[in-house]
Amino acid sequence: MSILEIAFEKNWFYFCLIAIGIIYGLGGLVHIGNIFGFGEKAWLESPLSWRVGDIVWGALDLVAVVAILMKMPIGIWSVLLAGLSQILVYSLFPDLFALTEEHHATLKGMVYFHVVILAALGVLVYLAGIRAGS
């Protein structure tokens, strides 16, 4: 049994993951909303990078929340992949996603958000590992 499978059996760990899953689920809904035309621009008129991001990160976010609710470790991996990929892409290629200074500020906030979430997730997994060993 992996550390993640053991960790899911701990109520405190699972409740914290549910909170993270809900946050990512809301992000997934934002991406889906963009696809259905509720974003800043009509989806087909938005830059290709935005459309690809909506599809990829929307899917990862929704996999994260569903898998976490089902106590499946793939949910944690999905959060990691979504978070790390957004940190990298928004940090290295911000101009693909930011057309205005306001967009740049939003991307910077998204990078900070994902860093905090991934750090919290790392602490949770670490604590679950320590408690699993005792």
**Annotated domain spans of the chain:** 3-133
pLDDT in tens, 35-58: 999 998 899 999 999 999 999 999
Amino acid letter, 61: D
pTM for this structure? 0.89
pLDDT in tens, 53-86: 999 999 999 999 999 999 999 999 999 999 999 9
Distance, in Å, from the CA atom of 53 to the CA atom of 64, rounded to the nearest integer, reads 16
Distance, in Å, from the CA atom of 112 to the CA atom of 121, rounded to the nearest integer, reads 14
Distance, in Å, from the CA atom of 82 to the CA atom of 19, rounded to the nearest integer, reads 16
B/e letters for 27-59, b = 16+ CB within 10 Å, e = fewer, are: bbebbbebbeeebeeeeeebeeebbebbebbbe
